[in-house]
C-alpha cells in the first residue's frame, strides 16, 4: 500500500517537475532562441523597406546609404548624425577619390589625421 501511494505521489509530481524545468529553460535560453529566429525576419522587412524607399527616390548621381542624400560622389555624403564631424582621408592612388570617416568628440579629425600620418610613414 505504501509503495502504491509513493508511486501515485511520484506520478502526480512529474508534471510539477516538468513545469519547473520549463521555467528554467525559458529563463536561461529558449526564449532567446525564439527571439533570434524572429530577428532575421524583422531585419529582412526593414531591409526591404529601405530598398523600396531608396528606389522610390530619384537620384541620378550617388545615393548615400546612411542618409539617403543624393550627392555627386561618395565622399560628399554627410554624416548620419548631426553631432558627428566629417573627416576626409584622401586616396593615395586616385586624386579625386577619398574615404569619409565620421567621428564624434573633442578631438574631431585630429585622431584620424594622426593615424593617417602614422600609417603613411
Reply yes or no on whether the pLDDT at 13 is more than 90: no
- Residues near 102 by Cβ (< 8 Å), separated by ≥ 6? 79, 80, 81, 84, 85, 86, 87
Residue 41: phi, psi to the nearest 5?
-65, -40
Residue 79 is predicted with a pLDDT of: 93
More confident residue, 94 or 41: 94
Question: Residue 86 — φ and ψ, nearest 5°?
Answer: -90, 120
What pLDDT, on the 0 to 100 scale, is given for residue 85? Answer: 92
Q: What are phi and psi of 85, to 5 degrees?
A: -110, 135
Task: State pTM to two decimals.
Answer: 0.50
pLDDT per residue as tens digits for the range 15-52: 555 555 555 555 555 555 555 555 555 556 677 776 77
pLDDT at 48: 79
Please provide the DSSP assignment of the chain as one string: -HHHHHHHHHHHHHHHHHHHHHHHHHHTTHHHHHHHHHHHHHHHHHHHHHHHHHHHS--SSEE-TTT--EESSGGGPPPSSTT-EEEEEE-SS-SS-EEEEEE-SSSTTHHHHHHHHHHH-
Q: What is the pLDDT of residue 78?
A: 93
Amino acid at each position: 500500500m505504501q509503495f502504491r501511494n509513493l508511486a501515485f505521489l511520484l506520478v502526480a509530481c512529474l508534471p510539477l517537475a516538468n513545469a519547473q524545468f520549463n521555467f528554467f529553460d525559458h529563463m536561461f535560453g529558449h526564449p532567446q532562441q525564439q527571439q533570434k529566429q524572429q530577428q532575421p525576419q524583422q531585419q529582412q522587412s526593414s531591409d526591404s523597406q529601405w530598398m523600396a524607399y531608396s528606389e522610390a527616390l530619384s537620384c541620378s548621381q550617388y545615393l548615400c546609404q546612411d542618409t539617403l542624400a543624393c550627392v555627386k560622389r561618395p565622399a560628399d555624403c554627410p554624416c548620419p548624425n548631426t553631432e558627428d564631424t566629417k573627416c576626409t582621408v584622401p586616396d593615395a592612388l586616385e586624386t579625386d577619390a577619398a574615404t569619409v570617416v565620421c567621428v564624434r568628440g573633442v578631438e574631431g579629425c585630429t585622431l584620424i589625421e594622426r593615424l593617417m600620418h602614422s600609417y603613411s610613414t
